[in-house]
Chain A
Amino acid sequence: MTCAEAEILIHALLDGELDAGHAHEVEAHVGCCPHCAAELRGCRELRRAMPAAPLRFVAPTRLRRSIEGTLPSAPPRVSNRRSVLKGFAMGTALSAALAASLVVAVVRTDQDQRVLGDVISAHVRSLQPGHLTDVQTSDQHTVKPWFNGRLDVAPPVVDLTAQGFTLIGGRLDYIDGKAVAAIVYRRRMHVINLFVAQGTASAQGAAERATVQGFNVEHWSTGGLAFFAVSDISPDELRDFIGTFEAAHVP
């Protein structure tokens, strides 16, 4: 074993990462090489003088609360009660759930139409002079923090200029009576409004498409957020936009 090899392997030896054969070789080399023996002592010294605990950082309470806030709430109280119920009421719960989902399916159709109408209205309103953006910048790091404190969701903001969709800015808007983020992109002379609202965490589905008053709308959900993309660009280009957006904000 050369000194160059040993100088690397003594670290693996100290970290307990060497198999018995290699460990023996390194020890044998250190035993007969004063230079590498000194290296080993030096490394031991460093480990002794550098305990990990004080070098850690503690996450600020603000950050912890903010992350807890973005998690879909799963209140333990409810799940406890539910687990008690589960013991004897599973059959009832299942049929109740089935009935509920039937009701939901019926109610949703009406609600979907209303939401779609809101989305189109918001898009049209945004195209009027001076209504497009509250924060106007192509810097995603300006747009994203701007929503802090204004919404109960953290919308993903990505700059897609390189992919042909220029980030123009963001604004607050209202869909279905709730404040939502509107992230505004431009494709050539066309405006794309991307509305981001709180969704149900379980919703994870293929995009739903619609054409209303000549505008194309795509709706999809992911990661507890509900997205609506609206524009007068062609359905194909809008799908292209969504693909690009999804690819850019998902690791």
Chain B
Amino acid sequence: MTTGSDASHDQARRFRDAALPLLDDVYTLARYLLRNAADAEDAVQECYLRALRHFDTYRGPEIKPWLFAILRNVIRGEFARRSCATLTMDGDTAEDADAIPLWQEPPPTPESEILHERDADTVRRLVAALPEPFREAIVLREINELSYREIADVVGAPVGTVMSRLARARCMLRQAWIAVEEEEGLPT
């Protein structure tokens, strides 16, 4: 046993301790970004391989955003082509989407707006139906609970952009939510 392999075992153990507890978080983000369980598994697997490979260069205070950024790179690099029909990461499309002015229509009867709690499947479906990059912003904030600064680091956009994407994402989600309630004829 040499000291070199001790060091690598030590590094593997630190990686295991730091990154494995976040597997569900990384998998959750992959599921929302890819909207497909099999692709998400492949992406997460590749993400962890890359993360381990680059763990010796990891210096950040928070490992979660770091892992998310790697996952995003994996998805952009290897999966974007495969799922391009449903997934557009922030290329031209996303910038176009950002350029559209913020949702101006006031939601119907906002004064008395009560949103009924929905089962997880319905909410997941509503979130999954949001276009990129709004889906990404809302998942990182609401489900993965990152700060604006962390989201900005993960998606490589200014905090201001994150803020406006999030505002628009919530508007769209609210409208979709209200639409579900109206479909079901529930009192609002």
List A residues at the B interface (Cβ < 8 Å): 4, 7-12, 15, 17, 35, 38-39, 41-43, 45-50, 52, 54-60, 62-64, 66-68, 70-74, 76, 79, 82, 94, 97, 100-101, 104, 140-141, 145, 154, 156, 200-202, 222-224, 250-251
B44→A63 contact, CB < 8 A: yes
B177→A49 contact, CB < 8 A: yes
Could you jot down 10 A-B contacts, CB within 8 Å? A12-B148, A38-B106, A38-B111, A38-B113, A49-B118, A55-B123, A74-B9, A74-B10, A82-B6, A202-B7
Query: How many Å lie between the Cα of A236 and that of B46 in the bound state?
Result: 30
Chain A residues with Cβ below 8 Å from B147 are: 17
Which residue of A9, A38, A58, A66 has the most chain B CB atoms within 10 A of its CB atom? Answer: A38
Q: Which 10 A-B pairs have the closest CB atoms?
A: A223-B53, A202-B8, A38-B110, A54-B120, A59-B27, A201-B8, A49-B115, A251-B73, A74-B13, A72-B12
A202→B50 contact, CB < 8 A: no
Within the complex, what minimum Cβ distance (angstroms) separates A215 from chain B? 28
- Does B41 count as interface, using CB distance less than 8 angstroms? yes
CB < 8 Å neighbour of A43 from B111, B124, B170: B170
Number of CB contacts from chain A to chain B under 8 A: 166
CB < 8 Å neighbour of B49 from A47, A63, A101, A154: A154
Closest to A75 in B: B9
Closest to B173 in A: A46
B27→A58 contact, CB < 8 A: yes
A79→B143 contact, CB < 8 A: no
Within the complex, what minimum Cβ distance (angstroms) separates B92 from chain A? 20
Assuming A46-B177, A49-B118, A200-B8, is B70 touching A68 (CB within 8 A)? no
A8→B52 contact, CB < 8 A: no
Query: How many Å lie between the Cα of A12 and that of B149 in the bound state?
Result: 12
Closest to B141 in A: A15
A8→B167 contact, CB < 8 A: yes
Chain A residues with Cβ below 8 Å from B70 are: 251
Query: How many Å lie between the Cα of A60 and that of B31 in the bound state?
Result: 12
CB < 8 Å neighbour of B24 from A39, A58, A224, A251: A58
Chain B residues with Cβ below 8 Å from A66 are: 45
Name 6 extra pairs, CB < 8 A, besides A59-B27, A223-B49.
Answer: A8-B163, A8-B164, A42-B113, A55-B143, A63-B41, A222-B53
CB < 8 Å neighbour of B127 from A55, A63, A141, A156: A55
CB < 8 Å neighbour of B20 from A8, A11, A42, A67: A67
Which residue of B53, B114, B127, B177 has the most chain A CB atoms within 10 A of its CB atom? Answer: B53
What per-residue 1/0 map shows which CB atoms of B48-59 lie under 8 Å from chain A?
111011100000
CB < 8 Å neighbour of B116 from A7, A49, A201: A49
Within the complex, what minimum Cβ distance (angstroms) separates A93 from chain B? 8
A52→B148 contact, CB < 8 A: no
Chain A residues with Cβ below 8 Å from B124 are: 55
Chain A residues with Cβ below 8 Å from B37 are: 60
